Structure 1
Amino acid sequence: MRLLLVRHAETPANVDFLLDTTVPGPGLTALGERQAARLPVALADEDIEAVYASTMLRTQLTAGPLAAARGLPVTVRDGIREVSAGELELLPGESEQGLRYMRTVFAWAAGDTGLRMPGGESGAEVLARYDAVVAEAADREAGTVALVSHGAAIRLWTAARADNVDVPFATAHRLANTGVVILEGSPADGWKALTWAGATVTPAGESGPTGRALEGTG
């Protein structure tokens, strides 16, 4: 199975660098609308057979043009929504308290899944809900599925589940709005990341971008 994890297009909270994780959340900026409109062209070479979005408005608005271009419905699932910020909601992402959000997310990716976001979810809960949607998509037996999701959730899940992406890589690599991580595999056999925002992901020790680090919070 080929799995495309697509970050949603730009929102007002992205412009202001705020942790905005409540459902349904804001819509898109004018730039975000243009980004969503360009997504069908950016993914024109992908034989997408199903399109999923989270319960957050921004992912559904991002997924809409892609699904329409392929004549597909948008399947909405809560499991791929953003990691809840809990008590950190609407704090600036670059503030000391805001930085605690991503530190917690990457602690989960490193295996400390019992840790809980202040006033929010544990890593085990987030990964379980995300895994459930991926498993549902895999059960469709579609060759390629696009999941329009969120920056922190995508980086967490990929670092936790892809064999060739580790925490330092996910920490160093922000995913821009409508950025895509492409993976191959299955829930039973595991996952391998092929590209991250267009750059090839290779095991450590091989040439090119590696599963250890490049550069760049979702």
Structure 2
Amino acid sequence: MRLLLVRHGQTYSNLGRNLDTAEPGADLTPLGERQARALPAALAGQGIDAVYVSNLVRTQQTAAPLARALGLTPHVRPGLREISAGELEMADDLPSVRLYVETMLRWAGGDLDARLPGGESGAATLRRFDDVVEEAVASSDVAVLVSHGAMIRAWAGARCEDVTVELAADNPLSNTGAVLLTGTPSRWLLERWHAEALGGELLDDPAHDGPAGEPAPVTAASGSPDPASTTAGTARRG
């Protein structure tokens, strides 16, 4: 089984650096739409037989060109939605962003009781994502799950045995960046951590990727190892 975990395209809330996690969320920007339109070519030949999206409109808009090209109907699953910001919803200040990213990385490192004010626990958040993954595994061979930056980083760090906290901290996902995994729900292995937009560097806008697409201001990691060495050469940017 292969899982392609793809972050949504750029949104207007990304431009404002807002912690936008509630339904329905912001729409894609013109750049985000171009990023979405690049996905069919970027993922051609992957053998994709299922596409899943969250209940936030940005994932549905991102997946639409890919689903059309493949002749598939996306499955909308709330379990793929972004990590709730709770009382920090729509905040754009550095302390709020720092707390949000720190909490996500604590979950990636196994501290599942940590939670944001008014937000979900790590255990509950990862469990809802697990449920969608298990559904995809049961019904497909290669599934694309279009989700959100913090959610993908936290889930991959917690569930993939060779994604360390350091890797998740040091390699944020740009809009339409992706984490590619192979395996089963009991053992996921990292095939590639593609930090930049899948459509190529001309579609990257790192200054406006939003809080979950930028380096964590404070991380739970000790040191900053090269991601390739962290995952035996399987993770690489680009």
| Distance apart, 1:198 and its partner CA | 6.6
SS at match of 1:45: coil
CA distance in 2, matches of 1:131, 1:36: 25
RMSD, aligned α-carbons: 1.8
Partner of 2:124: 125
Q: Indicate how the Cα distance of structure 1 residues 186 and 95 shifts in structure 2: closer, same or farther if over 3 A, else same.
A: same
2:192 to 189, 192, 195: 195
Partner of 1:172: 170
| Distance apart, 1:17 and its partner CA | 1.0
TM-score, normalised on structure 1?
0.90
SS at match of 2:230: coil
Ranges in structure 2 where 5+ consecutive residues have no aligned partner: 197-226
CA distance in 1, matches of 2:111, 2:73: 36
CA contact (8 A) 1:79 1:133 kept: yes
CA distance in 1, matches of 2:53, 2:120: 20
1:204 aligns with 2:230: yes
CA distance in 2, matches of 1:205, 1:82: 25
Partner of 1:138: 137
TM-score, normalised on structure 2?
0.83
Ranges in structure 1 where 5+ consecutive residues have no aligned partner: none
| Distance apart, 1:97 and its partner CA | 2.1
Partner of 2:103: 104
User: Runs in 1 of length 4+ with deviation above 6 angstroms?
Assistant: none
In the comparison of the two structures, how many residue pairs are matched? Answer: 207
| Aligned ranges 1:54-73 → 2 under 5 Å | 54-73=54-73
CA deviation digits over 1:51-94, x for unaligned, max 9? 000000000000110000000001000001000000111111x6
CA contact (8 A) 1:164 1:202 kept: no
Corresponding letter in the other structure for 1:182: L
Q: Percent identity?
A: 48
Pick which of 26-35 and 149-158 moved more. 26-35
CA distance in 2, matches of 1:108, 1:147: 20
